[in-house]
Amino acid sequence: MTITAAADGSALGNPGPAGWAWYIDDNNWAAGGWKHATNNQGELKAVLELFRATAHVDDDLLVLCDSQYVINSVTKWMRGWKAKGWRKADGKAVMNLELLQEIDEALVGRRYRFEWVKGHANHPLNEAADSRARAVSEAYQRGSAIPTGPGFVAGGPAPAVPKAAPAKAAPAKAAPATSAAPRASVDLGLFDLEVDRPHSVQVALSTEELARLTRRASTRGVSPEELLRDLI
């Protein structure tokens, strides 16, 4: 089967209060946004969240999009940018890098196709996605509740992401009797750690953040703990 969905973004003032939305039908759609972002960021985020929401079903995905920037970024330019270390042909850094890297990860193993549709031309799916993205941007502007939608309910619940086991700190070595006393903890910054013994750091992650961490680690063939350690 093929899932056909529209993805769209909205930003009041561009940049300004912004929203994103993907839409399949009235029972399957999702939206979100930020207090301050650009329209292109909304367009990219809509595509990213559509791929994430449907990642657990083995269906082709047809993405209807009115943004040539998004379509060209994903289908034409991204491979070259990635090969150049996420730099454009002129050597300048790629805009919206984190969103593009997350989309690149979300595409792995997926069967998909993008189709351009003209915006604000009464295309029913595009209009539905556009109106929901704009509703989010307007909600951020007013400071009211954000209409997030039911998500992708047609595919059933997504498999639970296994929780990463907390890292175990190795037992501390006993200090020699003649060693100087360690610095008081009040003198230590967050990452200004003593180097004579291992330390453990606990980080609280949302379900989405943990899923993203697990995907990135799996792509690189390492554990989530090893991926985090590589950032130091």
Active-site residue numbers? 8-9, 43, 66, 120, 130
Q: What pLDDT is recorded for position 104?
A: 98
How many other CB atoms sit within 10 Å of the CB of residue 160? Answer: 8
Regions of the chain short of the pLDDT cut 50 = 174-199
Minimal CA–CA distance to 7: which of 40, 56, 37? 40
- pLDDT of 167: 56
- Residue 12 is given by DSSP the state S
Give me the domains of the chain, ranges plus CATH numbers. 2-142 (3.30.420.10), 163-232 (no CATH)
Give the pLDDT confidence of 199-212 residue by residue, as tens digits. Answer: 456 666 666 667 66
The pLDDT value recorded for residue 156 is 86
Predicted structure pTM score: 0.71
What secondary structure does DSSP assign to 146-204, as a single string? -----B--TT-PPPPPPPPPPPPPPPPPPPPTTSPPPPPGGG--SS---SSS-------
Q: In this predicted model, what pLDDT tens digit does every residue of 63-98 receive, in sequence order?
A: 999 999 999 999 999 999 999 999 999 999 999 999
Cβ atoms within 10 Å, residue 4 = 15
d(CA 65, CA 7): 6
The four Cα atoms 81, 84, 86, 90 give a dihedral, to 10 degrees, of -80
